[in-house]
Amino acid sequence: MKRLLTLAASALALTAAAPALAQDMVVTNAKLVIGDGSEPIEGGVVIVDDGKVVFAGKPTAGQTFTTGTVVDAGGAYVTPGIFATLTTLGLADVSAVDETNDITASKTPFSAALDASTAINPTSQHILVHKAAGITRAATTMLPSGSIFAGQGAIIDLDGSPNPVMQARAFQMINLGENGSAQAGGSRAAAHALLRAALREAQALSTGKGGIPQTTAIDKADEVLLSRFDAEALVPVVTGKQKLYVDVERMADIRAVLALKSEFPKLDLVLVGATEGWLVANEIAAAGVPVIANGLIDLPETFEQLGATQSNVGRLSKAGVKVAINALTMQDPRRLQQVAGNLVALTKMPGATGLSWGQAFAAISSVPADIVGMGGKAGVLKPGALGDVVIWTEDPLEVGAVPAKVFIGGVEQDLTNHQTRLRDRYKDLDESNRPEAYDW
Amino acid sequence: MFADKRARGRFAVAATLASALALSACTTTGDSEKPASASSKSDKEFAATPAGEPVFASTYKPFPNVATAIKGATIYDGRGGKIENGVVFMSGGKIVSVGGPDTPIPADIAVFDGTGKFVTPGIIDIHSHLGDYPSPGVEAHSDGNEATSPTTPEVWAEHSVWPQDPGFSRALANGGITALQILPGSANLMGGRSVTLKNVPSRTVQGMKFPGAPYSMKMACGENPKRVYGNRGRMPSTRMGNFAVNRETWLEAIDYANNPDAKRDLAKETLVGVLKGEILIQNHCYRADEMALVLDMAKEMGYKVSAFHHAVEAYKIGDLLRENDVCSAIWADWYGFKMESYDGILENAAFLQKEGACVVIHSDDQNDIQRLNQEAAKAQAAGARVGIDIPDATVIGWLTYNPAKAMGIADKTGSLETGKMADVVLWNGDPLSVYSRPEKVWIDGALMFDAMNPKTRPVSDFELGQPGEGDVK
């Protein structure tokens, strides 16, 4: 049933109308979170038309919209879908079961050429479980294993539909810290030499005719460090058309990454991890390089994380760095909200630096979307953005908060998954009539 | 690597470790059976301390403390009790009284205003590898698994604990952890003895050992032992192999226990301690069906399982666990990272609680140990969503009294009751909210952490002179 809504702040007039397109809807009576860093708005309304947000905010008198789907949020939090970055969602069913794991590929001769979008399984339980946690879009990537290059990450949606890939080859991911050093032959210097050689090769390819490679490969014994296909895959990186995500933790490693710009000025850099980023926050801010930072890592788990502190994100943000919270170092990306909430709690601790509630939510919604080039499109409720809307049962940054409803592109999602089915089966253990296997 | 953490992005490192372990297995096998002492029973001149007498004894003494009261806070006593606007009074390292606003306290003592704040017993983690897998997690520090034989009841986790692990101070300051059990890893079916520690900075592990705490022995079901040893072409390589090796080992221990002339054997001393009920069993076991088999093995051999750890499928057999009086030490939300964790659900704790089984929330992780309160809140919320409403006061018991019970120290700590150790946390808000943090932590009545005073933040030797020394972590 389609209804005409008059969106006045005081009263809503609802009129029956023609059948609806599936991607139209209105959420009323929301504690509305735009996702851009601002604080929640009481009594907000979100209108989605044809899968896109056309309005989000306080309704004004006389505003009307025709839709078949009207959801009264009853004063609950309504937010954009969480944009999870970085994740491996869709690339493994069970990470410790090798057959199911496409996150790493240590035996392949390829590295930078690897394209995660070719391996995404949209019905992976991890995707379904994380959708039920309010994540609607994710940056998903392989991890470096045989090389410093992980390959090219993708932006996916989590609606479980056959085509999860919104943007393939959205970024190239590399590791230049301890792991990169190990993968390049045992020294950070080796990792930098390999990176520079690879980028020079790509640069030559980008200016050459017909993609003729300068060399066929960089080898070490029987190991291929860079094939011509990998070099070709780095052309968009060196020409600034594809973002380069660099995973580093140590202050010195961060500075070495920023310095790459002097040799390869078109690089579009993003720092990942950056545990010691706060030590050079001003330099990162001055370079205009965004950071996908570890949120709560506060232990010197490695020698490149000696300066680890939970204040890293807050201090980077205060220095003017665009900073998102990294999902890769948490147990699962569905902990993003919890980590964001902890950064709010930090504001009460003397000597610590945290984030405001609005900033914290933005660090898991609009900021990560913006970093990957989807600013205004995802992670935010503004006209023109994707109609990813989540209605929560409570403050979404509180532990245990889960969505009551999730819309992706304006379409309400089924939140059933393997876990909810197990939950329903084992709610009681009564097998007096039949074994549990008959309960489904 | 057997702390059951996902090794994302560290597969190369893990592979290196595995080969190093395999190498060390070749060079050390054969030495592990040697007796601890060269003395024989007829030799009067050389004699080790007899079996059963205290060795590596605790040297921990409560630190100087002043009589202290907290007034006006919401108190959770750890055993399901809740007092609004309550008073906790501690003196001489002990809880003297806990009660309502009219609870008498002497004049001239330190009084903290707890208005708007919350008091709980000190938080206890039943499953930690701090010190045994410390930070930095370099190979030279990897002391948590004696993965050279599938059964190593002779090793003691305390001999691997590095007291300078910075993880202890994070657990104190961010998690309110006052006591924790350090367990050997799960590479082995029988990993060795645990040690229970007071979470106080110390130059020696003896200075942290919880006075009077019993030992536990770590056992492990499932994937890890069969993978580690199966990959080396030796038993066990299957789950049935796991049980066979376990049962043979128990039978040998029973023979040893019945033989008054047997030569001392450190492994069997641990196993006999279990058979006598002096040493508790902490059993890493994910799957419901395997837990049920372990319970029957325990009946067969005559011992008791104190807790199943990582019991992600415990919710499938809550009735059985209640009947056997076994606690389930669990995470709130870990799932799907290995095959035996595939059926993890958020409602695990709530379903167990509903069945009347014992719930313990554990960490197995240097980060989660800093937020066990939040993990408990997550598990509580999952229950509430399916109509299982568990009071906050009960949930606090998952982190305090229940782990103390499963570790055999519930007569000493784990609840705010007169005469017990004054292990107390003052939270700056509801401890089951993401927005709250420990403000003050007392251990045996001594104020060991105060968020308002930077100098009460312990800094380990390792952190001195490093970037961020003494920072708010």
The token pair that represents B189 in the structure block? 């079916």
Name the residue facing B374 among A104, A299, A338 (closest C-beta): A338
Q: Which chain A residues are within 8 Å of B379, Cβ to Cβ?
A: 400
For residue A336, whether the previous peptide bond is cis, meaning omega lies within 30 degrees of 0, is: no
- Comparing CB atoms, the residue among A94, A341, A402 nearest residue B338 is A94
Kindly determine whether residue A419 and residue B344, on different chains, have CB atoms separated by under 8 Å.
yes
Percent of chain A with pLDDT over 90: 85
CA atoms in the 13 A half-sphere facing the CB of B422: 29
User: Helix (H) and strand (E) counts for chain B?
Assistant: 11, 17
Q: Which residues of B touch A251 (CB under 8 A)?
A: 467
Q: What's the pLDDT score for residue B8?
A: 33
pLDDT band at A10 (very low <50, low <70, confident <90, very high): very low
Q: Across the interface, which of A309, A418, A419 has its CB nearest the CB of B471? A: A309
- CB contacts, 8 Å: A95 with chain B: 6, 8, 336-338
Task: Report chain A residues whose CB lies below 8 A from the CB of B334.
Answer: 331-332
Q: Which of B362, B333, B337 is nearest to B348 (CA)?
A: B333
Helices (DSSP H) in B386-443: which residue ranges? 392-397, 401-407
What's the confidence (pLDDT) of residue B224? 98
Which one-letter amino acid corresponds to residue A293? A
Assess B466–A contact: CB distance below 8 Å, yes or no. Answer: yes
Sheet holding A12-17, edge to edge: A12-17, A2-7, A64-67
- Closest to A392 (Cα-Cα) out of A403, A407, A381: A403
Write the CA distances from B185 to A180, A290, B150, B392, integer angstroms.
Answer: 28, 39, 12, 32
Cα-Cα end-to-end distance for chain B: 25
What sign results for the dihedral spanned by CA atoms A414, A89, A394, B79?
positive
Using CB atoms, pick whichever of B6, B317, B428 lies closest to residue A95: B6
Tens-digit pLDDT profile for residues A252-305 = 999 999 999 999 999 999 999 999 999 999 999 999 999 999 999 999 999 999
Chain A residue closest to B429 (CA)? A345
Asked if residue A7 has a cis previous peptide bond (ω within 30° of 0), the answer is no
CB contact under 8 A, B382 and A400: yes
For residue B21, the model assigns a pLDDT of: 40
Joined together, the tokens standing for residue A172 give 């190239």
Which residues lie across from B198 on neighbouring strands?
A: B179
* DSSP labels, B89-113: EEETTEEEEEESTT----SSSEEEE
Interface test with B, best of A173, A272, A280, A423 (most B CBs within 10 A): A423
The per-residue pLDDT for range B424-472, each reduced to its tens digit, is 999 999 999 999 999 999 999 999 999 999 899 999 999 999 999 999 9
List CB contacts (< 8 A) between B13 and chain A.
179, 182
Residue numbers in A near B166 (CB within 8 A): 299-300
Written as six digits, the tokens of B58 are 């605790």
pLDDT at B380 over 80: yes
Q: State how far the Cα of A296 lies from the Cα of A311, in Å rounded to an integer.
A: 8
Tokens encoding A75: 């004063």
Q: Please choose, from the candidates A409, A330, A290, A308, the residue with its C-alpha nearest in 3D space to the C-alpha of residue A87.
A: A330
User: What's the pLDDT at B267?
Assistant: 98
Domains contained in chain B, number: 1
B386/A contact by beta carbon, under 8 A: yes
Q: What is the DSSP letter of A115?
A: B
A82-378: what CATH class?
Answer: alpha beta
Which residues does chain A have within 8 Å of residue B174's beta carbon, measured at their own beta carbons? 298, 310
Q: Which residue of B has its CA nearest to A145?
A: B12
Question: Residue B219: which region, alpha, beta or left (left: phi > 0; alpha: psi -120 to 50)?
Answer: beta
Nearest CB to B337 within list A96, A251, A297: A96
**What digits encode the pLDDT tens for the residues A191-213?**
999 999 999 999 988 886 555 55
CATH number of A1-81+380-440, picked from 3.40.50.300, 3.40.309.10, 3.30.70.141, 2.30.40.10: 2.30.40.10
Q: Is the pLDDT of residue B39 over 70?
A: no
| Helical residues (DSSP H) of B302-359, grouped into ranges | 318-323, 348-355
CB burial class (10 A; 0-12, 13-18, 19+) of residue B139?
A: exposed
Q: How far apart are CA A422 and CA A416, in angstroms?
A: 10
Nearest CA in chain A to B167: A299
Residues of B in contact with A334 (CB under 8 A): 333
Closest Cα in chain B, distance from residue A175 (Å): 10
The SS3 call for residue B22 is helix
Chain A residues whose beta carbon lies within 8 Å of the beta carbon of residue B352: none
A166: pLDDT strictly greater than 80: yes
The distance of B307 to chain A (nearest Cα, Å) reads 21
Residue A259 has a pLDDT of 98
pLDDT of residue B424: 98
Q: How confident is the model at residue A218, as a pLDDT?
A: 79
Is the CB of residue B425 less than 8 Å from the CB of residue B120? yes
Listed in order, the ranges of chain A carrying CATH 2.30.40.10 are 1-81+380-440
SS3 B239: helix
List, as ranges, residues 113-142 from B with C-beta within 8 Å of A.
135-138
Sorting pLDDT into bands at 50, 70 and 90, what band is B25?
very low
Q: Sort out which chain B residues have CB atoms less than 8 A from A351's CB and list them.
A: 454, 471-472
Q: Which of B318, B433, B472 is closest, CB to CB, to A352?
A: B472
- Residue B32 touches partner A, C-beta closer than 8 Å: no
Residue of A nearest to B320 (CA): A429
Which of A392, A399, A402, A420 would you mutate first to test chain B, the one with the most B CBs within 10 A?
Answer: A399
Closest CA to B174 of B310, B366, B6: B366
Q: What CATH number corresponds to the domain at position B289? A: 3.20.20.140
Q: Give me the residues paired with residue A12 across strands.
A: A7
Q: Do B8 and A398 touch (CB under 8 A)?
A: no
Tell me, yes or no, if B174 comes closer than 8 A to chain A by beta carbon: yes
pLDDT score, position A225: 78
Express each pLDDT in A360-376 by its tens digit: 999 999 999 999 999 99
Burial class (CB in 10 A: 0-12, 13-18, 19+), B97: middle
Residue written as token pair 């993401």: B434
Instruction: Give the other-Cβ count within 10 Å of A125's Cβ.
Output: 16
In whole angstroms, give the CA distance from residue B392 to residue B384. 11
CA dist., res. B247 & res. B242, Å (int): 9
Please tell me whether the interface predicted TM-score (ipTM) of this complex is above 0.90. yes
Q: How confident is the model at residue A3 (pLDDT cuts 50, 70, 90)?
A: low
pTM for the predicted model, two decimal places: 0.93
CB B141 within 8 A of CB B134: yes
- pLDDT over threshold 60, residue B228: yes
Contacts of B318 in chain A (CB under 8 A): 429
Residue B473 has pLDDT above 50, yes or no: yes
pLDDT of A234 over the 60 cut: yes
pLDDT digits (tens, 9 = 90+) for B193-219: 999 999 999 999 999 999 999 999 999
Domain, as residue range, for B303: 122-411
Distance (Å) from the alpha carbon of A2 to chain B's nearest alpha carbon: 31
Q: Dihedral of CA A378/A383/A389/A392: which sign?
A: positive
The SS3 call for residue A177 is coil
Assess B440–A contact: CB distance below 8 Å, yes or no.
no
Taking the Cβ of residue B451 and every Cβ of chain A, the question of whether any pair is shorter than 8 Å is answered with yes
Residue B171 belongs to a domain:
yes
DSSP state of A101: B
Pull the structure tokens for residue B2. 């057997």
Nearest alpha carbon to residue A168 among A190, A150, A153, A187: A153
The answer to whether residue B429 sits within a structural domain is no
Q: Kindly report, as residue ranges, where domains of CATH 3.20.20.140 are found in chain A.
A: 82-378
Q: What is the mean pLDDT of residues B67-82?
A: 98
Contact A51, A23 (CB under 8 A): yes
Chain B: closest CA distance from residue A17 (Å): 35
- Give me the residues paired with residue A153 across strands: A171
Does residue B217 lie within any of the structural domains? yes
- Cα–Cα distance, B355 to B187 (Å, whole number): 31
User: Greater confidence, A15 or A61?
Assistant: A61
Alpha carbon separation from A245 to A89, A138, A269, A368, B170 (Å, rounded): 17, 15, 6, 12, 30
pLDDT at residue B16 is higher than 70: no
User: What count of CB pairs under 8 Å joins A to B?
Assistant: 183
CA distance, residue A428 to nearest chain B CA (Å): 8
Quickly tell me which residue has 């993990």 as its tokens: B375
User: From B367, which residue of chain A is nearest by alpha-carbon distance?
Assistant: A297
Of A6-10, A56-60, B40-44, B273-277, minimum mean pLDDT range: A6-10
Scan residues 287-316 of B and list those with Cβ closer than 8 Å to A: 315-316
Whole-number Å distance between alpha carbons of B135 and A186? 21
At residue A211, the pLDDT reads 53
* Mutation choice for B interface testing from A296, A298, A343, A436 by most B CBs within 10 A: A298
Angle between helices A336-345 and B372-385 (to 10 degrees): 130
Q: pLDDT tens for residues B236-288?
A: 999 999 999 999 999 999 999 999 999 999 999 999 999 999 999 999 999 99
Task: Tell whether B382 lies on the interface with A, counting CB pairs under 8 A.
Answer: yes
| Residues of B whose CB is below 8 A from A102 | none
Q: In this structure, which amino acid lies at residue A95? A: S
* pLDDT value of residue A61: 80
Structure tokens at A250: 């140590």
> If we measure between CA atoms, which residue out of A292, A332, A296 comes closest to residue A95?
A332
In chain B, what residues touch A125 (CB-CB under 8 Å)?
A: 336
Taking the C-alpha atoms of residue B370 and residue B446, their distance in angstroms, rounded to an integer, is 20
A382: left (phi over 0), alpha (psi -120 to 50) or beta: beta
pLDDT at A146: 86
Does the beta-carbon distance from B435 to A297 stay under 8 Å?
A: no
Structure tokens at A2: 């389609």
Question: Does residue B436 belong to the interface with chain A, where contact is any CB pair within 8 Å?
Answer: yes
Which among B117, B126, B162 has a CA at the least distance from the CA of B141?
Answer: B162
* pLDDT for the residue numbered A15: 44
Angle (CA) A179 A181 A185, round 5°: 120
Looking at the complex, report in whole angstroms how far the Cα of residue B431 sits from the nearest Cα belonging to chain A.
11
List residues bridging with A28 in a β-sheet: A72
Summarised one tens digit per residue, pLDDT across range B341-371 is 999 999 999 999 999 999 999 999 999 999 9
